[in-house]
Structure 1
Amino acid sequence: MSARTDEAFARRKIIGVNEETVTNVSSKDFPHHYTTSDQVEDPSWFLRKFQEGLEITFHEHKPFDTSFSLIGIDASIANAFRRIMIAEVPTLALEQVYIKNNTSIIHDEILAQRLGLVPLAGDPAFLEDLKPFKYVEPGQEGGSAPYWGNSIALELKVECMWQEKGKERARQGETDPKQLYNNSSIYAHQLEFVPSKEQTDRFPACFIKPVNPEILIAKMRPGQKIDILAFAVKGIGEDHAKFSPVATATYRMLPVIEITRPILGADADKFARCFNRGVITKSRVTEEEASREGSGYEGHEGEMKAVVSDPFKDTVSRECLRHPEFKGKVRLGRAMDHFIFKVESTGQFTSDEVFLESVRILKQKAKKMVVHLDNLVGPPKEKTGDVAQEQGSAMDTDG
């Protein structure tokens, strides 16, 4: 393949960001095949070729806040991971709240909603074995009642009272409710896990608790009480947002900035200000660059030039395209096969576990699709042992 064809092939992988338009945004008939007009390419998919092109790079790796690049996949797969992380990874959340007593100023339904949105954390093995729970209105069929195998019981039983000698401090001008009263503010850590005997026997190490113990649930004053028994069940974000394991799961394509003609001197300073700090830096034109014919730097040795330093920090601003002095000197775009993910977990799983779970779920979906396709085609024909072994080996390298 010639250098000219290589350049044309590379351009096919870039979405063009122009002053008024965005170009080359159409999806490909065959993912990862960016053919040019003078090139004929076999659209077959090969596992080995995909593995060689796949790359994962971490930019920020914290337990509940992760940023990484997934390189060498199609946009449909990247978006599938994002949607699965948001809506199909099962988690634990409060579903049914039985209010025995609530004399606080918060209405029962608001209190129940606030409790339902408190993220819970616990033993992942226990969550995996927890059976699905389906609530239906009384008198309807198809639902299930809460029991140790499909739900987790939590209790909130608090009463606000005067601190000892609190009235005396009040007469002295004390105004802080925490100094005047006990349980003036009710926090998530006051939710207590109430395991049944079966849960204790089967999961002795299991402990369910709120992810953040300092989530404020309610405020009370002396004489007010809250007595609640709540049941947490396993669900997915598709049913309700409270079951979503992530606060944020997004991706963006890697920005591409290409300086096609030299930008020097004061123009280099102005060009750098068109982008986020650190995207464009300046360096001096070397003697080699100044002496190379056709480089555009002839006679500019020692001058400052604009250099693309870190496109990762760019937000694909078109500011530089507004200035006439940069016309024809820069080309902006986004890489089609480079996706920068940002995953923030709510705490029940780490961000890594959420992403790996989305991969597992996508694999299950693909296997189900294969089964459905086989059923459409019909029962498989009998194969000899040699033929079956040969086809099985081919699947290791071909798609």
Structure 2
Amino acid sequence: MPRPGQEELAQRNRVNVGLETVTNQASTDFPGHWPGENHEWDLGYFRENFKVQFHTNAPLDSSFSLIGIDTSIANAFRRILLAEIPTVAIEYVYMKQNTSIIQDEVLAHRLGLIPLTADRKALSWMKWYKKPTDEDPGSGSPSDYNTLMLTLDKKCEWQEGGLDRAARGETDPERLYKNHNIYARDLEWHKFGQQVEIWGDGEGLRAVHPDILIVKMRPGQEISMQLHAIKGIGQDHAKFSPVATASYRLLPTIDILKPIVSADAKKFARCFPKGVIGLEPVTAEDAKKDPELRGKEGEAKAVVKNAMRDTVSRECLRHPEFADKVKLGRVRNHFIFRVESTGQWNSDELFLESVKLLKIKCQKVRRGLDEMMK
């Protein structure tokens, strides 16, 4: 039998948000739930109804909607973005000298959290570093194909005449000291082995944000260390996660059931974030269509401008004058994604990479099932 009409499907696909309850959360588009209706998954139907809409697309921050997919698939993309796309981060810090005020382990932790970037094709050439284990303690040997080496050597000293200026009451560190602030841009990358050929003269390994402050020092203090960056995923440690945030939310819906005009319209607009509700004058045509608007021509009327900006705070439902005039909800299969990259990948490329990884996972499951059937 054919599927029901679009209006009926839209109502079934709506999560209803009340003052204290949420209803119709569970999906019902599966075989056997609706008598006489066929809801078997169909590739042609999916292709016809699946849509992707971009809202913003900056290199490090993008927002887009996936329409027509199941929650499990949307959540799989989110989890892959957070934990399974490989990046490079500092893993080992070999301290030669550290007389700064920051302890060795705290300084090493700060260095590990600095987002790094380099030519992605060259980074994809890198192999996984095998960490030493109790069974095989000699396995963790750094090499040109699995380790990137950086150094950080800085010593704080007085500026020329700095002591005299200090005696006169000068307090500006820039005029008193050299190398008193150590930044991420002070990390120096040293290519070795095949890395010289692979990277060539292109942009090498560097901090995404060069102005990240690592440590403050004063004359006589010094840091000298060697750092090894390796390939990893967020599942191992959060520092390898390629995103600062990867989240999604369902598209909000706001249905104004009865006209809201005059002072109530302004109050209603204040219940929502800016830009969600607009005010428009009541026209003669509006008054003709709706008896409740007769005699109110020219007064302000509340209309929905951009429901996507709503945070579904339910503020409007707390006011009794709006209780029976508005209905809030969310569209169950419309996912608004927000992906903010840490810099090693562009935000839109991250999502495409998550699709590739999910495809690889599906292929592995399929091969496993084929082996079971033999």
Return the TM-score normalized by structure 2. Answer: 0.93
- Aligned with 1:84 (options 80, 93, 106): 80
Q: For residues 326 and 231 of structure 1, do their structure 2 counterparts lie closer, same or farther at Cα, with a shift above 3 Å needed?
A: same
In 2, are the aligned partners of 1:8 and 1:36 still within 8 Å (CA)?
no
Alpha-carbon distance in structure 2 between the residues aligned to 1:266 and 1:201: 71
Q: Deviations over 1:208-244 (max 9, x none)?
A: 0011111111111112211111110000000000000
Alpha-carbon distance in structure 2 between the residues aligned to 1:353 and 1:146: 29
The residue identity in structure 1 corresponding to 2:279 is: K
Secondary structure at the aligned position of 2:255 is classed as: strand
Whether 2:125 is the aligned partner of 1:129: answer yes
Whether 2:202 is the aligned partner of 1:242: answer no
Whether 2:79 is the aligned partner of 1:52: answer no
Alpha-carbon distance in structure 1 between the residues aligned to 2:62 and 2:93: 33
With 212-221 and 137-146 compared, the bigger mean Cα shift is at: 137-146
Q: Deviations over 1:241-267 (max 9, x none)?
A: 000011111111111000112222222
Aligned-pair CA distance for 1:46: 2.6
Deviant stretches of 4+, over 6 Å: none
Aligned-pair CA distance for 1:297: 3.5
Alpha-carbon distance in structure 2 between the residues aligned to 1:206 and 1:144: 28
- Which residue in 2 is equivalent to 1:172? 168
Q: For residues 290 and 128 of structure 1, do their structure 2 counterparts lie closer, same or farther at Cα, with a shift above 3 Å needed?
A: same
Alpha-carbon distance in structure 2 between the residues aligned to 1:80 and 1:186: 40
Within 5 Å, give how 1:251-262 maps onto structure 2: 251-262=248-259
In 1, are the aligned partners of 2:250 and 2:335 still within 8 Å (CA)?
yes
Aligned-pair CA distance for 1:372: 1.2
Secondary structure at the aligned position of 1:96 is classed as: strand
- Which residue in 2 is equivalent to 1:189? 185
The residue identity in structure 1 corresponding to 2:25 is: V
Alpha-carbon distance in structure 2 between the residues aligned to 1:14 and 1:64: 32
Within 5 Å, give how 1:143-292 maps onto structure 2: 143-204=139-200, 205=202, 207-292=204-289
Sequence identity of aligned pairs in percent? 53
Q: How many residues align?
A: 372
- Which residue in 2 is equivalent to 1:395? none
Q: For residues 183 and 263 of structure 1, do their structure 2 counterparts lie closer, same or farther at Cα, with a shift above 3 Å needed?
A: same
Q: For residues 314 and 109 of structure 1, do their structure 2 counterparts lie closer, same or farther at Cα, with a shift above 3 Å needed?
A: same
Secondary structure at the aligned position of 1:262 is classed as: coil
Secondary structure at the aligned position of 1:197 is classed as: coil
With 206-215 and 258-267 compared, the bigger mean Cα shift is at: 258-267
Alpha-carbon distance in structure 2 between the residues aligned to 1:9 and 1:342: 27
- Which residue in 1 is equivalent to 2:14? 14
Secondary structure at the aligned position of 2:149 is classed as: strand
Secondary structure at the aligned position of 1:348 is classed as: coil
Secondary structure at the aligned position of 2:301 is classed as: strand
- Aligned with 1:96 (options 82, 92, 106): 92
Q: For residues 289 and 60 of structure 1, do their structure 2 counterparts lie closer, same or farther at Cα, with a shift above 3 Å needed?
A: same
The residue identity in structure 2 corresponding to 1:15 is: V
In angstroms, what is the RMSD of aligned CA positions?
2.3
The residue identity in structure 1 corresponding to 2:240 is: F
Aligned-pair CA distance for 1:118: 0.6
Aligned-pair CA distance for 1:334: 0.5
Aligned-pair CA distance for 1:48: 2.8
Alpha-carbon distance in structure 2 between the residues aligned to 1:8 and 1:259: 19
- Which residue in 1 is equivalent to 2:39? 43
- Aligned with 1:310 (options 306, 312, 322): 306
With 41-50 and 234-243 compared, the bigger mean Cα shift is at: 41-50
Whether 2:98 is the aligned partner of 1:107: answer no
Alpha-carbon distance in structure 2 between the residues aligned to 1:362 and 1:248: 19
Secondary structure at the aligned position of 1:56 is classed as: strand
The residue identity in structure 1 corresponding to 2:285 is: E
Aligned-pair CA distance for 1:321: 1.2
Alpha-carbon distance in structure 2 between the residues aligned to 1:29 and 1:286: 41
With 146-155 and 352-361 compared, the bigger mean Cα shift is at: 352-361
Whether 2:329 is the aligned partner of 1:333: answer yes
Structure 1 residues without counterparts, runs of 5 or longer: 379-399
The residue identity in structure 2 corresponding to 1:117 is: L
